[in-house]
A and B are shown apart, each in its own frame.
Chain A
Amino acid sequence: MRARLALVAVPLLALAACTGSSASTDAAPSADAEPTGTVTVFAAASLTDVFTELGQQLEDQHPGLDVQFNFAGSSALAAQIEQGAPADIFASADEAPMTRVTEAGLAGDPELFASNRLVLAFPLDNPGDIRQPDTAGIPSLAQYLDHDLVLAVCAPEVPCGVAAAEVLERVGLSDAPDTFEDDVRGVLTKVELGEVDAGLVYWTDFQTARDTLGAYTFREAEAARNRYPVAVLDDAPNPRAAQAFVDLLLSDEGQQVLSDAAFFEP
């Protein structure tokens, strides 16, 4: 009887020891406590490559840490967080989805860590015959587009669509698009397939697809930049590791990775 009790007791004690280390907010974290366990990051799809690399870096620095990602449209992620999805960090491709989350009282102070700009992408064989005009300085979008071109943009409900709507309104071409895609991947696919003459995508997306696409920048893109905020969620299961990730993101290292991936400064 006593032996059996011991058999049960040992694993229980070990379990208690383990859970003790990924501490609750009650225990005061010591300054050198090692981030460990699992940290879940909800991030906009355009951050896939960068965040994966940073996550790998963090795991190399802290063995015992496992960084898990959920990449999707920022609005979809915000909805999931509102519904109670278990995440530690939310990184959004625009400020609006983050505002939803902070207004719902689910996150504290977001920090901007990067920004992105739209470019006009087109298939390499250029079916719409989009040409760079002969002007000094960066041309306006109106000099590339007209109503005849088959144009794909994101829907205004998603971040890249907010920016697209803004730039199109500035040049009076709000009714030029032929389709409003539910995420930027949809726009990219249609441009890559050559089914549309052009699409408004992020500069970073163009970088990942530069073998198959051409792209032009335009003046209005600067003013309609998407700013990317990141925040640790209030109910994060692993706040220490979450903070470590955010710190890495905002550090020089992290910023270098971002700019290598063609993101702009926040």
Chain B
Amino acid sequence: MSRTREGAGVPLPLLLPAALGTAFLVLPMVGLLVRAPWSDIGPALAAPEVGQALRLSLVCATLATLLSLVLGVPLAWVLARSRIRGRSALRALVTVPLVLPPVVGGVALFTVLGRNGFIGSWLNEAFGITIPFTTTAVVIAETFVAMPFLVISVEGALRAADTRFEDVAATLGAGRWTTFRRITLPLVAPGIAAGAVLCWARALGEFGATITFAGNYPGTTQTMPLAVYLALQDDPEAAIVLSLVLLAVSLATLLLLRDRWLGRSGAPGA
């Protein structure tokens, strides 16, 4: 029989590159595991900065993702469904943070929200609020670099969604907002979930924009990536330990989320 039976293995031209790709991505993580100072890991993990940095990282990444959802999903809808002019220009602008070096992003954030920024200076004078060097700044920096991932994911999902259901909802008396809330959103929920996961992961690993705009202060703005980078300067073994912690937490979260949110209501055949 020359026909392959369903599920009977991967064709060779695909198997080899796939295996190489897996090795390329997985071996560095294995390297971390191998080089970790397993015998000294206890005291290294117990240092208070580790717990602080980890907590801060998780909280800020989650807040950044929530902010990205609140702002990004409507933006994605406008890009995918509305007919306003200049949509392609808007889409290009929205994806600029993806190609901008993160440090440049940090400097750009200063020009708006820094003490001398055009919004920041008003906030400072009117309310005495300064944003740089606060935890809020971390969330803002992470949102800036991570939101485009969410917007692109959700826009793609909206484009691929079946718009006939929205017509059906209209004929049943649902206005545009009701249709969005009760029909469009639930139907693209898997796409939104996938985008949110990407966004969260990107926010968690963000370094350049964070250290530039929010600075680095243990407990307030020192996230895990910053702690790892600084540890690398004079104590590479500590850096490996911190990296492992971040890797373990990220893996655990991604695996948990995949099963719960992306598996059940996921794309057909997922």
Report yes or no: B114 in contact with A195, Cβ–Cβ below 8 A: yes
Give B120's nearest chain A residue, CB to CB.
Answer: A195
Give A76's nearest chain B residue, CB to CB.
Answer: B233
In B194-252, the 8 Å CB interface with A consists of 211-212, 214-217, 221-222, 226, 229-236
**Interface membership of chain A positions 155-193, coded 1 if the CB is closer than 8 angstroms to chain B and 0 otherwise:** 101100000000000000000011111100010011001
- Chain A residues with Cβ below 8 Å from B211 are 181-182, 186
- Chain A residues with Cβ below 8 Å from B216 are 155, 179-182
Report yes or no: A178 in contact with B107, Cβ–Cβ below 8 A: no
Report yes or no: A195 in contact with B132, Cβ–Cβ below 8 A: yes
Cβ of B112 to closest chain A Cβ, rounded Å: 12
- Chain B residues with Cβ below 8 Å from A179 are 133, 214-217, 221
Task: Give the docked Cα–Cα distance between A155 and B218 (Å).
Answer: 11
| One of B107, B115, B229, B231 near A194 (C-beta < 8 A) | B115
B110 sits at the interface (CB 8 A): yes
Task: Give the docked Cα–Cα distance between A189 and B109 (Å).
Answer: 13
B253 sits at the interface (CB 8 A): no
Report yes or no: B217 in contact with A194, Cβ–Cβ below 8 A: no
User: Known contacts A178-B217, A182-B216, A195-B115; is A189 also within 8 Å of B107 by CB?
Assistant: yes
Task: Give the docked Cα–Cα distance between A150 and B133 (Å).
Answer: 9
In A112-132, the 8 Å CB interface with B consists of 127
A237 sits at the interface (CB 8 A): no
Give A75's nearest chain B residue, CB to CB.
Answer: B233
Report yes or no: A180 in contact with B217, Cβ–Cβ below 8 A: yes
B116 sits at the interface (CB 8 A): yes
Cβ of A202 to closest chain B Cβ, rounded Å: 17
- Chain B residues with Cβ below 8 Å from A181 are 211, 215-216
- Chain A residues with Cβ below 8 Å from B116 are 193-195
Give A183's nearest chain B residue, CB to CB.
Answer: B233
Report yes or no: A127 in contact with B115, Cβ–Cβ below 8 A: yes
- Chain A residues with Cβ below 8 Å from B215 are 152, 178-181, 190
In B61-120, the 8 Å CB interface with A consists of 107, 110, 114-116
A55 sits at the interface (CB 8 A): no
- Chain A residues with Cβ below 8 Å from B130 are 150
Report yes or no: A193 in contact with B233, Cβ–Cβ below 8 A: no
Report yes or no: A157 in contact with B217, Cβ–Cβ below 8 A: no
Task: Give the docked Cα–Cα distance between A111 and B229 (Å).
Answer: 29
Report yes or no: A75 in contact with B234, Cβ–Cβ below 8 A: yes
Give A125's nearest chain B residue, CB to CB.
Answer: B116
Cβ of B86 to closest chain A Cβ, rounded Å: 31
Give B213's nearest chain A residue, CB to CB.
Answer: A195
Task: Give the docked Cα–Cα distance between A23 and B90 (Å).
Answer: 60
A249 sits at the interface (CB 8 A): no
- Chain B residues with Cβ below 8 Å from A178 are 133, 215, 217
Report yes or no: B115 in contact with A157, Cβ–Cβ below 8 A: no
Cβ of A129 to closest chain B Cβ, rounded Å: 14
Cβ of A6 to closest chain B Cβ, rounded Å: 43
- Chain A residues with Cβ below 8 Å from B236 are 79, 82
Cβ of A158 to closest chain B Cβ, rounded Å: 6
**Interface membership of chain A positions 59-85, coded 1 if the CB is closer than 8 angstroms to chain B and 0 otherwise:** 000000000000001011001001000
Known contacts A73-B233, A182-B216, A195-B110; 12 additional CB pairs below 8 A are: A76-B233, A96-B234, A150-B133, A155-B230, A179-B215, A179-B221, A182-B226, A182-B229, A186-B211, A189-B107, A190-B215, A193-B107
Interface residues of B (CB under 8 A from A): 107, 110, 114-116, 130, 132-133, 211-212, 214-217, 221-222, 226, 229-236
Cross-chain pairs A/B with CB under 8 angstroms, 14 sampled? A75-B234, A79-B232, A79-B233, A127-B115, A157-B233, A179-B214, A179-B217, A180-B230, A181-B211, A181-B216, A189-B107, A190-B215, A194-B114, A194-B116
Closest 9 CB pairs of A and B: A179-B215, A75-B233, A157-B233, A157-B230, A195-B114, A194-B116, A178-B133, A157-B234, A180-B216
